[in-house]
A and B are shown apart, each in its own frame.
Chain A
Amino acid sequence: MGALTLARAALICATLGLFLAPWHGLQDGFSELASWPRDSAAPLVALLLDGSRWWLWPVALLLALAAPALLRGRAGGGLAWIGAGLVLAVFGAGYAIGLNGLNWSWLAPLLGAPPPQPSLGWGALLVLAGGIGLFAAGQAARGRFGADAFVAFLVCGCGFLLVLFVFLPLVNMLSAALYEDGRLAPAAFGARLVAPEAWSLACLSTHAGCGVVWNTLLLATLTGVISTLLGLGFALLAVRGGVQQSRFGAGAFRAMTILPLITPPFVVSLALIVLFGRTGIVTGFMWDWFDIPRSRWIYGLPGVLLAQILAQAPIAFLLLDGALRAISPSLEEAAATMGARRMRVFRNVTWPLLKPALAAAFLLGFVESLADFGNPLVLGGDFDVLSTRIFFAIAGARHDPGRAAALALLLLALTFGAFALQAWWLGKRRYTTVTGKGDSGLPAALPRGLKFTCAAVVWPWMIFTALVYGIILVGGFVHDIGRGDMSFTWRHLGTGFEIDWFDGAPAFLGSAWDSLFTTIQVAAVSAPLTAGLGILLAWLIARQNFPGRRGLEFMTMLSFAIPGTVVGVSYIMAFNVPPVELTGTALILVICFVFRNLPVGVRGGIAALAQIDRSLDEASATMGAGAFTTLRRVVLPLLRPAIVTALAYSFVTAMTAVSAVIFLVSARHNLATVYIVGRVEAGEMALAIAYSTVLIVIMLAVVLGIEKLVGRARLGRGSAPPIRAGA
């Protein structure tokens, strides 16, 4: 695409935004359009002419400046300045003048006392898109971005979105921690950071609880260690213990790895309450048979830990399974030929080679535990962790955004600390055990003692897991699983999902329908956006050379490292007031999902692109195809498997996530997970479990459906080999 084409399209877009679309956000939806072109639906040109937004004249002037050269068919580098000016003018005015009039008092001499200005709307969006287009066209005309306007536009657009929805909310939230009652208060900030609430060590000497930071660290460390060890046991049995030979074993192991991925994180907590709560099935059994008194031990550290391990151990298993399979058998055979016995081979060769994967599994468990919100909320009891404490600082009786921001900062520091540790650790030790040469040989069998130990831990755990998921499956269809009344009923499903027929049209009477529909809509909208944007970004990062590429990559990965609770807090702080006001809409849910799940799409895309020889792109270019054609006809068809994965992943996460969106849902746009958490808090355990079952079934169907619809990529004969040029 040439710079001129892009610049003209951008000009048209911005002009539409100036003359037609309502400039400010429509508070009551599209019904407000009736008042166009006056009042709340007025386009900018009307607002300029009646003088109520005189400070936005620069927008119109800049567009008028860009038009003549473009109409004459010339696109020059100056367009970049005009585009940047447009974006700055719109946002600058938006931030400077808010709902209470002037926000930036230092501009008073220039602007006087302007009237209040509501949030930006469709018109502003079009002008911004146009501004970015002009900026990109100007850069391409200067020869940046390989002189390709399409690439330039993608980079500028993605960069803008990432800054707006990843970077700015974070900065905004961190600055909120610095303020108290609207004034800058570094002292309050310091006090919040070192508050005893976070750091108290009282639990060591008294019966009072410890600080949340210690709680969080303790929980995360335990989760990391135990789930890694369990995962290792599973992996050793699966790869070296001969379990995969039997069909039952293989099936059980595979189910173990899939179930947690499609289960909303806190559903496991529900099952644990049903099993071990004060009136739980196991508790009752223990009371009846062994006179072990009923207690609330499950609420607190043990329960949360158990739930997190149930979710994390399978993921550790997947990681270690891959690492174990990648160890070339010839290394172990070499040790064996030198006279080492099985145990010695394991200790001297296998174990050291596994260390990086063990570290990775531990850190993943650690980080996931830090970010987990659903389980501590449901099972935590008095045991508070950072994520729940942040939630209550916002949603609790004492609304204190500054405190929430400071706690979020602590959580963020812990997470980044873990990632930094991982990078440092893995950076030092990297063993390439896949040589690329054809490796034959048999992996060494497990030493006998180790095998028995693994089996003794793994099979009981497997039974326990089956029990937990069995509860989820059964719980929704019996009268009162919480009190052991196991007679069959459709009652709970009916409460949630009742449908009546009035005059041939279905009426969705069940209490769960609203949230289910919203969830499916939001997931269905955000999944293709996530996959599309993720793959595009991956392509830009992996294949294009442009200034700021590292920055773009960093910002993409940033949202991966930020715990959901932090994202939720930062979003309500950033998007609750003009100029970008999104809270209470379904759009903010979509945006939240897109930018939280983006890194997975990007990583998958980059990994897939690494398998596709760059000369394919270049060949396409030398035959006269521009970047857009190459992307559409060569790269995307080859990336199909990665796209399917990204689609399925983002859909599933959008349906199971709770931590970020619990801050963002509204009465009109509630989500299934949040609704379920609400049912649990209201004590309607059975309905919650029934709803969870419905969710799991839908997700399974959708994941399989996406795979079927988009199809697996057709690449020559055989299963998917690395895509090399011409091969």
Chain B
Amino acid sequence: MTDIAIRFDRVTKAFGPVRAVDEVSLDLPRGALVTLLGPSGCGKTTTLRLVAGLELPTGGRIEIEGRDVTGLSAAERRIAMVFQSYALFPHMNVLENVSYGLLVNGARKPSAEAEANAMLKTLGLDGLGQRLPSELSGGQQQRVAVARALVLRPQVLLFDEPLSNLDARLRRRVREDIRDLQRKLGLSVVYVTHDQQEALAVSDLVCVMRAGKIAQMGTPTALYEDPADAFIADFMGEANVVAGEVLGPDRIALGGVALDVAIRAHPPGPAQIAVRPESILPQPEGAPGLPGRIHRAAFLGQTREYEVETSAGMLFVVTPAASPAFATGDAVSCHIARAIPLR
């Protein structure tokens, strides 16, 4: 046995002339939660459906747990999937929904229902077995969908934007629940989302996709702090990308002003430089830093947001609410703690 749960070897999926997934190769480790992240239309959902067998690739090879599944239909792969819409069968009650997969795979009715009931209990749904899906709240429906997938003890569990139909508060709780469950059961999970915060919060690994290809894959920290290019830098949280110059280790020039800033290793010379909004701290005029003028100011409760006009261009700044406040028109000096020269 390998430690690889899913392996893509130059997998392509073309719809007519459009290549939704374009020669993607990747190895996803067993027991990890991997998110596929990207803007809409980047191919992340197609990639997930290729794993599920709901789409068959037009080229390349897919392995799950070392088994070649390239030509197998969804029914023949040992996976389970939680759909964005949950896809609960409206004509079956909760218990019938959860035991469906077991029955289809040849289990006897009593044992299937016992297993389904146990799983419902694990997810805190006991007592709801006889309800129809239409009689459940959104959060309950979501958990039934998860129970229905987990009860099959799949080798790989797939989530297609599972939280997008929940309200913001519930979303945070459910994503923690999913993460806990995944850790407890040691499941290999592939999770599709377009919400980078969600991806950063739950993942062991994040795989950012763009135009059918993998833009970058790594741990959440690595992606945030060490992005490969401007696209990743901007997509993983916000970033001000400005033209500047790397002068040496931890020394850069922005808008003609030389600054001491922590940077990653980069050869000296002109470069695009990404600066996170929270790395910038406006200070009263005269302090060392990049001089500028407050163009717009907003108070958001936990944070303050500014747009600062500088010689390097307009910078978007986020500071803790506790830091000193400035008003529109104030002259400031921006202290920059960290910057990321892009390769």
Q: Give chain A's interface residues, CB within 8 Å of chain B.
A: 143, 146-148, 613, 615-616, 618-626, 629, 633-634, 637-638, 713-717, 723-727
State which residues 96-123 of B face A: CB under 8 Å.
100-101, 104-105
Q: When the two chains form their complex, are residues B88 and A725 in contact, meaning their CB atoms are under 8 A apart?
A: yes
Q: Which of B73, B91, B100 contacts A638 (CB 8 A)?
A: B91
Tell yes or no: B272 within 8 A of A by CB.
Answer: no
Q: When the two chains form their complex, are residues A716 and B134 in contact, meaning their CB atoms are under 8 A apart?
A: yes
Q: When the two chains form their complex, are residues B84 and A615 in contact, meaning their CB atoms are under 8 A apart?
A: yes
Q: A615 with B75: in contact, given A621-B53, A638-B91 (CB under 8 Å)? A: no
Q: When the two chains form their complex, are residues B89 and A616 in contact, meaning their CB atoms are under 8 A apart?
A: yes
Q: When the two chains form their complex, are residues B101 and A613 in contact, meaning their CB atoms are under 8 A apart?
A: no
Q: What A residues does B100 contact at CB under 8 A? A: 620, 623, 625, 633
Q: List 12 A-B contacts (CB under 8 A).
A: A613-B85, A619-B81, A619-B148, A622-B52, A622-B81, A623-B105, A623-B148, A634-B89, A637-B91, A715-B134, A716-B134, A726-B133
Q: When the two chains form their complex, are residues B90 and A148 in contact, meaning their CB atoms are under 8 A apart?
A: no
Q: Name the CB-closest residue of B to A622.
A: B81
Majority SS of interface residues in chain A? loop
Q: When the two chains form their complex, are residues A726 and B91 in contact, meaning their CB atoms are under 8 A apart?
A: no
Tell yes or no: B72 within 8 A of A by CB.
Answer: yes
For the complex, give the distance between the alpha carbons of A717 and B74 in Å: 32
Q: Give chain B's interface residues, CB within 8 Å of chain A.
A: 52-54, 56, 71-76, 79-81, 83-91, 100-101, 104-105, 132-135, 141, 145, 148-149, 152, 158
How many A-B pairs with Cβ below 8 Å?
A: 107
Q: When the two chains form their complex, are residues A626 and B83 in contact, meaning their CB atoms are under 8 A apart?
A: no
Q: When the two chains form their complex, are residues A623 and B90 in contact, meaning their CB atoms are under 8 A apart?
A: no
Which has the most chain A C-beta neighbours within 10 Å: B87, B105, B149? Answer: B87
Q: When the two chains form their complex, are residues B86 and A623 in contact, meaning their CB atoms are under 8 A apart?
A: no
For the complex, give the distance between the alpha carbons of A714 and B72 in Å: 35
Further pairs besides A623-B105, A726-B88: 5, Cβ < 8 Å? A615-B83, A616-B87, A619-B83, A622-B54, A625-B75
Q: Which of A143, A615, A634 contacts B85 (CB 8 A)?
A: A615
Q: When the two chains form their complex, are residues A618 and B135 in contact, meaning their CB atoms are under 8 A apart?
A: no
For the complex, give the distance between the alpha carbons of A607 and B56 in Å: 27
Q: Name the CB-closest residue of A to B74.
A: A621
Q: Name the CB-closest residue of B to A616.
A: B87
For the complex, give the distance between the alpha carbons of A624 and B133 in Å: 21
For the complex, give the distance between the alpha carbons of A146 and B54 in Å: 9
Q: Name the CB-closest residue of A to B73.
A: A147
Q: When the two chains form their complex, are residues B53 and A715 in contact, meaning their CB atoms are under 8 A apart?
A: no
Q: Name the CB-closest residue of A to B101.
A: A623
Q: What B residues does A629 contact at CB under 8 A? A: 104
For the complex, give the distance between the alpha carbons of A717 and B73 in Å: 35
Q: Which of B56, B91, B104, B133 contacts A623 (CB 8 A)?
A: B104
Q: How far is the CB of B64 from chain A (nearest CB, A)?
A: 13
For the complex, give the distance between the alpha carbons of A629 and B106 in Å: 12
Q: How far is the CB of A682 from chain B (nearest CB, A)?
A: 53
Q: Name the CB-closest residue of A to B152.
A: A623
Q: Name the CB-closest residue of B to A619.
A: B87
Q: When the two chains form their complex, are residues B85 and A623 in contact, meaning their CB atoms are under 8 A apart?
A: no
Which has the most chain A C-beta neighbours within 10 Å: B56, B74, B100, B141? Answer: B74
Q: Name the CB-closest residue of B to A142.
A: B71
Q: Name the CB-closest residue of A to B151.
A: A623
Q: A726 with B145: in contact, given A615-B84, A619-B83, A622-B54 (CB under 8 Å)? A: yes
Q: When the two chains form their complex, are residues B75 and A715 in contact, meaning their CB atoms are under 8 A apart?
A: no
Q: When the two chains form their complex, are residues A148 and B73 in contact, meaning their CB atoms are under 8 A apart?
A: yes
For the complex, give the distance between the alpha carbons of A727 and B135 in Å: 8
Q: When the two chains form their complex, are residues B90 and A716 in contact, meaning their CB atoms are under 8 A apart?
A: yes
Q: What A residues does B135 contact at CB under 8 A? A: 716-717
Q: What B residues does A624 contact at CB under 8 A? A: 75-76, 101, 104-105, 152
Q: What B residues does A622 contact at CB under 8 A? A: 52-54, 74-75, 79-81, 149, 158
Q: How far is the CB of A3 from chain B (nearest CB, A)?
A: 12
Q: What B residues does A143 contact at CB under 8 A? A: 56, 71
Q: What B residues does A619 contact at CB under 8 A? A: 81, 83, 87-89, 148
